[in-house]
Structure 1
Amino acid sequence: MRTPKQVISAWVDAMNVHDADAAAALYDEDAVNIQIAIGTPVEGKSAIHRDFVNFFRSTPDTYTHIENLFEDGEWAILEWSGGGTFIGDGTELGTVDKKYTLRGCGFFHVIDEKIRFQRGYWDKLTWFKQVGRTID
């Protein structure tokens, strides 16, 4: 049986090979992913899968490095650094081919080898400045 730390290591591996199917397979059917900078929770495995597909499409060279990975019972805590080249979805103006780097952290509640809950923290303003977007 994989520990929460091992599940999140597999999650990072899926992110780094841009595999939406493998990443989504690590989530429970009723999982919830809240990225604080975005605000709106993504609920359910299929919605999380769509979110990964869109993310990998908009940033095809994304990468994630593990800075620290901790485990406490059913929880894994990931401090990460990463980045890529944001190409958008074809509707953004002035944001095509913009490289960015970020640091952040994520908290993952893992039960029976599946992510049931995820909360991530990263700085939206830093990302927006790097890709040439403005906050409304």
Structure 2
Amino acid sequence: MTPTEVVEEWVRRFNAADADGLAELYRDDAINHQVTQQPVEGRAAIQAMFQREFANADMTCIVEAIHDAGDVAILEWRDPLGLRGCGFFTVQDGRIAFQRGYWDKLSFLKMHGLPIE
């Protein structure tokens, strides 16, 4: 899959709250760094992160745009509550090797009635 196709599939699985399916899109040694949190390293840890997040909040990713830049796909997104963000996905051999996401954690916590950490 191309980086854009990987991100399109990532969005599909994210919107299905499919932590196991999302994990399959990552390399074993992948890093997911949401800048509001510490980096998560390894496919199993990334899978566990998604399981926790899906248990805490009902999340939907609405694609605004996907930009392709070689082995990197950039996802601009929003959710139904008005939160916006972007993610950068480095894809190697059809799997995500590195992901970095930018979004407003305080707004997210407030929108979902979660405790402010």
Write the deviation string for residues 10-33 of structure 1: whole angstroms up to 9, x where unpaired: 000000111111111000000001
- Counting helix residues as a fraction of each chain, which structure ranks higher? 2
Q: Quick one: percent identity of the two aligned structures?
A: 45
Write the deviation string for residues 63-115 of structure 1: whole angstroms up to 9, x where unpaired: 111001011100000000125xxxxxxxxxxxxxxxx5411000000011100
Q: Normalized against structure 2, the TM-score is what?
A: 0.92
| 8 Å Cα contact 1:101/1:127 also seen in 2 | no
CA distance in 1, matches of 2:16, 2:39: 24
Q: Which amino acid aligns with 2:35?
A: I
CA distance in 2, matches of 1:74, 1:21: 24
SS of the residue corresponding to residue 10 of structure 2 reads: helix
CA distance in 2, matches of 1:129, 1:58: 13
CA distance in 1, matches of 2:25, 2:115: 32
| 8 Å Cα contact 1:105/1:120 also seen in 2 | yes
Which stretch of structure 1 is more off in the superposition, 2-11 or 119-128?
119-128
Corresponding residue of 1:94: none
| Structure 1 residue runs without a partner (length 5+) | 84-99
Corresponding residue of 1:47: 45
Q: Among 60, 63, 68, which residue is 1:71 paired with?
A: 68
Q: RMSD over aligned Cα, in angstroms? A: 1.4
Q: Normalized against structure 1, the TM-score is what?
A: 0.80
Write the deviation string for residues 19-54 of structure 1: whole angstroms up to 9, x where unpaired: 11111100000000111112x100000000000111
Write out the 4+ residue segments of structure 1 that deviate beyond 4 Å after TM superposition: none
Give the aligned length: 116
| 8 Å Cα contact 1:33/1:117 also seen in 2 | yes
Q: Which has the larger radius of gyration?
A: 1
| Structure 2 residue runs without a partner (length 5+) | none
Are 2:107 and 1:126 equivalent residues in the alignment? yes
Q: Which amino acid aligns with 1:70?
A: H
